[in-house]
Structure 1
Amino acid sequence: MKVLVAIKRVIDPYVKVRVNKDGTGVEKANVKMAINPFCEIAVEEAIRLKEAGHASEVVVVSIGDAACQEQLRGALALGADRAIHIDISSLDLATADSPLALEPLAVAKLLKAVIEQESPQLVLLGKQAIDSDNNQVAQMLSALTQYPQATFISQLKYDESQSERPLEVVREVDGGLETLSLTVPAILSTDLRLNVPRYATLPNIMKAKSKPLTVMTPDALNVTVTMSQMVLDVFTPPVREAGEKVASVAELVDKLKNKDKVI
């Protein structure tokens, strides 16, 4: 079974994000970047499937400029076998600082083209990226490919003896947990409780430098990237005012009614 994992380059989750001076996006110069945490969980799960003998190859793919190759090499150091970089640096939108520089539908179309070339039996994605928080690509990709999907999975089992539906997943829903069985090929998006990603060892980091990394463009994949959204302004949320202490319920009601006008 071949597993394809999509990853995204984002600002490290432990870095304080700042809006740039012209208000077009967030400051990325000299800022530490990392694999999106949800995507890292997807990579870890794919590697575990390979270690268990269920996956024969793990391929990671990322869309962005040349800088995202750093994260692809990081995924290779974790245990992936090959990497694919879809280079969008030639597109005008690729130079924008906005997290909406490439819309989810465009990402899904590019991933669909990669799936058609690679023919994986399983596609893993993080449920959302921590920069734009759209939570849309997996669902859109499922619609485009007509593959079955399961989102927000917190458990995954693969049983080859179940020829019709070898995948069993547990996903988190508002009312609790839902268990699904799926045919393959399938598309899964990973949640935080699925696993704890490993750290790359120094020997594996060195080995990752020699692992194959293929560079493609949207044109080579016969995908035309179009934009339907425009970021008008990016700004820091206003600072919340300090609260007030009141001596009695009557005083609280008076303030809510006469000062804040909420009752």
Structure 2
Amino acid sequence: MKITVILTPEASEGDKPALGNQAQESIREALKLKLSGHAQEIVVVSIGQPLSETQRVRLLLQGVDSTLFRACDRCPGVMELAEQLIGIIHRESPDLMFISRGDNDRQSQLGNMLAELLAFRLSQSDPVKGQLYRTLVIREIGSGMHTVRVSLLPSESEDLSCFGGEKEFGFDNSLVIPG
């Protein structure tokens, strides 16, 4: 099982990226699943503000396999975040997605919006004979869980165009520990 942990801009405080309580809880839960053998890979995606180098290294040492950064508006709306997450779903193909949000409840419906948007897009796509689907579980910490069906292969119209032309940055996850 592949787990993607999403750190939304609301999960950070001020200009300095911080791992708030919900972000830490999301990562802790993902690491527990990996240590128990139920997950093979954990990817942490920071949206809006990149993790500091210290935070990134700490996560890698704890057992996170990779970290990614997605640029977006400083205060994106729920719909913009849902669109960002759809692109991440198509790129990373997670089986379980943890969404950590800030403590202010502004994005408390992000998981619900994402589930509804995925279901709507699936219902509007042309059915293809023999099309295969997979299940994605979306868990928004403090708000609930949704299970949705997504196509194994994105349609041509979904060909990651929902990134809206923004730049995506990946980090080199190699770690050299002097020793």
TM-score (norm 2): 0.62
Q: In structure 2, what is the equivalent of residue 39 of structure 1?
A: 23
Which structure has the larger Rg over C-alpha atoms? 1
Counterpart for residue 147 of structure 2: none
Note closer, same or farther for the CA distance 1:33–1:46 as it changes in structure 2 (3 Å cut): same
| Unpaired stretches in structure 1, ≥5 consecutive residues | 12-27, 95-100, 148-182, 193-219, 226-263
Given candidates 74, 92, 103, the residue that maps to 1:118 is 92
Instruction: Give structure 2 stretches of 5+ with no counterpart.
Output: 121-133, 144-158, 166-179
Higher RCO, 1 or 2 (CA under 8 Å, sep at least 6)?
A: 2
2:79 pairs, out of 105, 110, 114, with 105
CA gap 1:77/1:133 in 2 versus in 1, 3 angstroms:
farther
- In the alignment, which residue of structure 2 is the partner of 1:7? 7
Q: By how many angstroms is 1:191 displaced?
A: 3.3
The structural deviation recorded for 1:72 is: 4.7
Gap change, CA 1:146 and 1:103, over 3 Å in 2: same
Note the alpha carbon deviations across 1:59-96, whole angstroms, 9 max, x for none. 1111114xx222555543432111111123xxxx43xx
Instruction: State whether residues 90 and 160 of structure 2, in contact with CA within 8 Å, keep that contact through their aligned partners in structure 1.
Output: no
* Equivalence for 1:245: none
* CA distance, structure 1, for counterparts of residue 108 and residue 56 of structure 2: 21
Tell me if the contact between 1:3 and 1:121 (Cα under 8 Å) persists in the aligned partners: yes
Does residue 190 of the first structure (1) align with residue 141 of the second (2)? yes
Aligned length: 132
5 Å matches for 1:1-263? Answer: 1-8=1-8, 9-11=11-13, 28=14, 33-65=17-49, 68-70=50-52, 71-88=55-72, 93-94=73-74, 101-126=75-100, 128-131=101-104, 133-146=106-119, 184-191=135-142, 221-223=160-162, 224=164
Contact 1:7 1:36 in 2 (8 A): no
Are the counterparts in 2 of residues 5 and 42 from structure 1 also a CA contact under 8 Å? Answer: yes
* Partner SS for 2:108: coil
How far did residue 222 of structure 1 move? 2.2
Identity of aligned residues (%): 27
Q: In proportion to residue count, which structure has more helix?
A: 2
CA deviation after TM superposition for structure 1 residue 184, in Å: 3.6
For residues 76-133 of structure 1, give each alpha carbon's deviation from its aligned partner in whole angstroms, at most 9, with x where no partner exists: 3432111111123xxxx43xxxxxx21111111111111011111111113x412563
C-alpha RMSD of the superposition? 2.9
